[in-house]
With several copies, the nearest count.
Chain A
Amino acid sequence: MSKLENIIESLYFSASRPISESEIVKILDDSNFDLKAVKNAVSVLEKKYQESSFELVKVASGHRFRIKQEYSQWISKLWSEKPQKYSRALLETLSLIAYKQPITRGEIEEVRGVSVSSQIIRTLLDRSWIKVVGHRDVPGRPALLATTKEFLDDLNISKLSELPELPELGSIPSEVQIPLLDEAQESA
């Protein structure tokens, strides 16, 4: 049996969001730790990292680890170092939402032939480029996704119909099996 403090530490480090003490109790479920034990362990952890670059901080919805402020100068360099590039998968998802909105995740998956990761949807929602505009009336009531005004602003157009018209879809010889592969290496 691992030490309670270490289990809690591992939970905080693996979650990308704050976790509450009661949630931890729920995760520990069948072990013998109650809320009091968890609260104790958390307060031990709050004092533990004085020598480290990070600390356990209390925020509204629980606790989370955060890098201490004094390191921000280095971290800002890390983040500006490599401007990210959106993956092929994200761009395909975005283009489907733009041209076929409102559309559900399942419908996107149908066209793309692979599952769309939650990460991609979250990135697009975080960026405020897409939003949920309703739910389709089928089992599971999946969310209908559409693009936002911010998306248009960021692309410097004022309405969707200003998106480039699609080139004629000529007939493609059947030998061409994976036309997308050329592009794919960019996203790798």
Chain B
Amino acid sequence: MDNSVELKPSQQEFNLAVLNGEEVSFPTDDLYIPPNALKIFLESFEGPLDLLLYFIRKQNLDILEINVLEITNQYVAYIDLMEKIQFDLAGEYLVMAAYLTEIKSRMMLPKESDSEDEEDDPRSELIRRLQEYERYKTVSKKIDSIPRVGRDFFVASSGLPEFESSQKLPEVDLNKLSQIFSELLQRQKLSASHIIEFEKLSTREKMSKILDLLIKEKNIEFHKLCEIKEGKIGIIVNFLALLELAKDSLIKIIQSKDFGIINLSSKDEVH
């Protein structure tokens, strides 16, 4: 962990974080900042509200007394810093920066009338959000500290006597299973940029079969995998399965001469 950040007293600085019990300061000017430290720092927050709460607590302030100008400056300086080191900031942090800047500018404008309505305080919405967030942040720590099963206490149970099994095992519906799988694939498509390539099932089945055979036999000749009733297609599928397995380096293939017998052996044997 590199938190040996050089500090120059002459420069304006603000304290950002306590890492491993040590306070880390990041000068706002162009000193070298270890990107790792900043990244870890950011990751210790649950979003912009959490970060703002930290700045506020840092100044020993009540949420109600926040000095929007100062907070905004700190926050924006911090965001700039992150951009400078080209850290991929979540959009929420940028939205908050814009929001704070808006509040700041509204507060610097002269008030139009003397309506002393609380609604006129540009900060009130921010304060409300900070307060609301802090409630749940606080209570979530309490919930985590409630003893829970499997972590703090355990359930007592005993072995069963023999009994006539009228117990029916749950059944699985064929169509349901494929529906669930296609939903999984769709979900994957949504959350990832790559799509799982869908391979022919028969190849998959052969792959499992070959691996299973290799557990028992250690060595198999390729032609023994093929069954006459499966015909040419069967040979091709077996061969594809073999190539897939080799690609994943799950098996070893040996063919000692051209057009000779292809020998498959389990990779496990090597170890």
Residue positions of A touching B, CB distance < 8 A: 10, 13-16, 54, 57, 64-69, 71-73, 75-76, 79-80, 83-86, 88-89, 91-92, 94-96, 98-102, 111-115, 118, 127, 131, 133-137, 144, 146-147, 153-157, 159-161, 163-170, 172, 174, 176-181, 183-185, 187-188
**A-B contacts, 16 listed (Cβ < 8 Å):** A10-B154, A14-B160, A65-B159, A68-B161, A80-B168, A91-B176, A92-B46, A99-B181, A99-B204, A113-B48, A114-B46, A136-B248, A156-B148, A166-B185, A179-B190, A180-B123
Contacting residues, chain B, for A155 (C-beta < 8 A): 143, 146-149, 172, 174, 177
- Residue B153 lies at the interface, judged by CB distance under 8 Å to chain A: yes
A113–B96 contact, CB under 8 A? yes
Tell me the smallest distance from the CB of A171 to a CB of chain B, in Å.
Answer: 8
B208–A146 contact, CB under 8 A? yes
- Residue B83 lies at the interface, judged by CB distance under 8 Å to chain A: no
Residue positions of B touching A, CB distance < 8 A: 46-50, 62-65, 67-70, 90, 92, 96, 107-108, 116, 118, 121, 123-124, 129, 131-144, 146-172, 174-191, 195-196, 198, 200-202, 204-205, 207-208, 211-212, 214-215, 248-250, 266-268
Main secondary structure of the interface of B (DSSP, over half): helix
B170–A154 contact, CB under 8 A? no
Tell me the smallest distance from the CB of B136 to a CB of chain A, in Å.
Answer: 5
Measured between alpha carbons, how far is A130 from B90 in the docked complex, in Å? 27
Question: Known: A99-B139, A113-B47, A154-B148. Is A174-B190 also a contact (CB below 8 A)?
Answer: yes
B186–A67 contact, CB under 8 A? no
Tell me the smallest distance from the CB of B231 to a CB of chain A, in Å.
Answer: 14
Q: Whose C-beta in chain B lies nearest to the C-beta of A99?
A: B181
B143–A69 contact, CB under 8 A? no
Contacting residues, chain A, for B214 (C-beta < 8 A): 134
Contacting residues, chain B, for A95 (C-beta < 8 A): 136, 139-140, 143, 177-178, 180-181, 184
A188–B108 contact, CB under 8 A? yes
Q: A76-B164, A164-B177, A169-B185 are in contact. List 11 more A-B contacts (CB 8 A).
A: A65-B157, A66-B153, A79-B167, A86-B172, A88-B140, A91-B143, A114-B46, A134-B250, A136-B248, A146-B207, A157-B174
Question: Known: A66-B159, A99-B181. Is A83-B170 also a contact (CB below 8 A)?
Answer: yes
